[in-house]
A and B are shown apart, each in its own frame.
Chain A
Amino acid sequence: MMADLEMLRPWIFLASGILLTLLISVIRTESKRPAQISALLTVLGTAIFSFKSPPSEAVFLFSGALEVSSLSLFALGGMSVLAAMFILGTGHYLTREKIHISDYYHLLLILVLGGSVLVASRNLLLSFIALEVMSLPAYTLVGFRRNDSRSNEAALKYFILGGAMGAVFLLGSSFIFGATGTLDLSAVFTESKGGTSLLLQLGHLLVVLAFLFKVAAAPLHFWKPDVYEGAPTPVTGIMATIITSASFLGLIRLIHMIDFSSPGTVGYLELMKSALRVAAIASLVVGSSVMITQRSLKRMLAYSSITHTGYLLLGVLGAFDEKVGITSVLVYLLGYCVMSTGAFVLLTLAKAPADTGTELIDLTGLIKRSPFLTFLWTVFFFSMAGMPFTVGFFTKYSVFMASLGGGETVLVILAAICTVVGAYAYLRAIALMTMRDAAPAAGDWEFSPGSQIVAIVAAGFVLFLGIIPNAMIQYLKGIPLIH
Chain B
Amino acid sequence: MEISDSLSFFLTLPLFGMVLSLLIPRGVQRIYAIFASLLFLALTVYEASGILFAGSSELAARLSVEHQLLWLPQLGSRLSLKLDSVSAWFVVLNALTAVIAFSTKGAWYRKNPKLFTSLGFFLLFGLNAAFLSLDLVVFYLAYESVFIPMIFMVGVWGERQKATAVFRFFLMSFLGSILMLVSLFFLLSKQVKSGAGVSSHLSDLVALSSGLEGAEAKLVFLGFFLAFAIKVPLVPFHSWLKDVYNLAPFPATIWMSAILSKLGVYGVIRFVEPLFPQVLGFFQGGLLFLAAVSVIYAALLAYRANHPKELLAYSSISHLGFVMLGVFTLKAQGISSAILLSVGHTLVSALLFFLLSKVEEKKEGLDLLSVHGLSRRYPVLFVALFVAVLASVSLPGTLNFAGEFLVLLNAYPVSAFCTILAGFGAVLGAAYMLKFYQQMGFGTPSSGTSEQVTRGDDLGGFELVLVFVLILFVFYFGFQTSVFLKGN
Those of A386-414 within 8 Å (CB) of chain B:
387-389, 393, 397, 400-401, 404-405, 409, 412-413
Q: Does B369 belong to the interface (CB within 8 Å)? A: no
In contact, B141 and A423 (Cβ under 8 angstroms): no
Q: Given A387-B148, A417-B175, A420-B178 in contact, is the A401-B185 Cβ separation under 8 Å?
A: yes
Stretch at the interface among A83-91, A249-257, A428-436: A428-436
Contacts of A367 in B (CB 8 A): 156
Number of A-B contacts (CB under 8 A): 85
- A392 to chain B: closest CB distance in Å? 12
Those of B309-349 within 8 Å (CB) of chain A:
none
Query: Which label, helix, strand, loop or mixed, suits the secondary structure of the B interface?
Result: helix
Contacts of A477 in B (CB 8 A): 74
Contacts of A387 in B (CB 8 A): 144-145, 147-148
In contact, B174 and A420 (Cβ under 8 angstroms): yes
Residue of B with least CB distance to A471: B74
Residue of B with least CB distance to A322: B192
Q: Does A56 belong to the interface (CB within 8 Å)? A: no
In contact, A404 and B155 (Cβ under 8 angstroms): no
**Per-residue CB proximity of A347-367 to B under 8 Å, as 1/0?**
000000000000000000001
Q: Given A401-B188, A469-B72 in contact, is the A389-B166 Cβ separation under 8 Å?
A: no
Q: Given A428-B167, A477-B74 in contact, is the A416-B178 Cβ separation under 8 Å?
A: yes
Which residue of A400, A413, A423, A431 contacts B174 across the interface (Cβ within 8 Å)?
A: A423
> When chains A and B are docked, how far (Å) is the Cα of A477 from the Cα of B198?
15
Q: Assign chain A's interface to a size class.
A: 20 to 34
Q: Does A130 belong to the interface (CB within 8 Å)? A: no
Q: Does B20 belong to the interface (CB within 8 Å)? A: no
Q: Does A8 belong to the interface (CB within 8 Å)? A: no
> When chains A and B are docked, how far (Å) is the Cα of A430 from the Cα of B147?
14
Contacts of B206 in A (CB 8 A): none
Residue of A with least CB distance to B175: A420
In contact, B179 and A416 (Cβ under 8 angstroms): yes
In contact, A324 and B192 (Cβ under 8 angstroms): yes
Contacts of B181 in A (CB 8 A): 400, 416
> When chains A and B are docked, how far (Å) is the Cα of A181 from the Cα of B175?
51
In contact, B162 and A382 (Cβ under 8 angstroms): no
Q: Given A387-B144, A470-B72 in contact, is the A423-B171 Cβ separation under 8 Å?
A: yes
Which residue of A409, A420, A430, A435 contacts B186 across the interface (Cβ within 8 Å)?
A: A409
In contact, B171 and A393 (Cβ under 8 angstroms): no
In contact, A405 and B192 (Cβ under 8 angstroms): yes
Q: Does B480 belong to the interface (CB within 8 Å)? A: no
Contacts of B74 in A (CB 8 A): 470, 473-474, 477
Q: Does B163 belong to the interface (CB within 8 Å)? A: yes
In contact, A435 and B163 (Cβ under 8 angstroms): yes
Those of B142-192 within 8 Å (CB) of chain A:
142, 144-145, 147-148, 151-152, 155-156, 158, 162-163, 166-167, 170-171, 174-175, 178-179, 181-182, 185-186, 188-189, 192
Residue of B with least CB distance to A424: B171
Contacts of B162 in A (CB 8 A): 435
> When chains A and B are docked, how far (Å) is the Cα of A35 from the Cα of B170?
48
> When chains A and B are docked, how far (Å) is the Cα of A417 from the Cα of B174?
9
Contacts of B155 in A (CB 8 A): 431, 434-435
Q: List 26 A-B contacts (CB under 8 A).
A: A324-B192, A387-B147, A387-B148, A389-B145, A397-B75, A397-B185, A400-B181, A400-B182, A401-B189, A401-B192, A405-B193, A409-B186, A413-B179, A416-B181, A417-B178, A419-B178, A420-B175, A423-B171, A424-B170, A431-B155, A435-B155, A435-B158, A435-B162, A435-B163, A470-B73, A473-B72
* A residues lining the B interface (CB < 8 Å): 324, 367, 382, 387-389, 393, 397, 400-401, 404-405, 409, 412-413, 416-417, 419-420, 423-424, 427-428, 430-431, 434-436, 469-470, 473-474, 477
Given A401-B185, A413-B179, 19 extra CB contacts under 8 A: A324-B192, A397-B75, A397-B185, A400-B182, A404-B189, A412-B185, A416-B178, A423-B171, A424-B170, A427-B167, A428-B167, A431-B155, A431-B163, A434-B155, A435-B163, A435-B166, A470-B73, A470-B74, A477-B74
